[in-house]
Amino acid sequence: MAQNKIVTDENLMESAKHGTDSYPFKCYFEKLSQFDFHCIDWHWHTEWEFVYVESGNMTVCVGESMFSLSEGEWYFYKFKDFAQILFQ
């Protein structure tokens, strides 16, 4: 079953573990329109993250910066970056 929100602790660290300690990678295919408020809310984690836009548009917020992405574009952000992803 797909999850429709990011679960975080009191410091906004995402609770889910992605991959293993020796291989911190896991692939997800998400439809942001199915998430609460059409976004992945503010969070951070100890893994790197690659976001690819298969269709539509989204805004990636990392710290105080915002990036608009369209179909075929991507963003790669490092571990411990504080981020939010918004579906447009």
Per-position b or e across 18-52, b if 16+ CB within 10 A of its CB: beeeeeeeeeeeeebeebeeebbeebbbebebebe
Number of domains in the chain: 1
| Chain segment 10-36, per-residue pLDDT in tens | 999 999 888 888 887 888 888 888 888
At 2 the pLDDT is 53
pTM to 2 decimal places? 0.83
Which residues constitute the domain of residue 87? Answer: 1-16+23-88
Are the C-beta atoms of 40 and 77 separated by less than 8 Å? Answer: no
CATH number at residue 49: 2.60.120.10
| Radius of gyration of the chain measured on its C-alpha atoms | 12
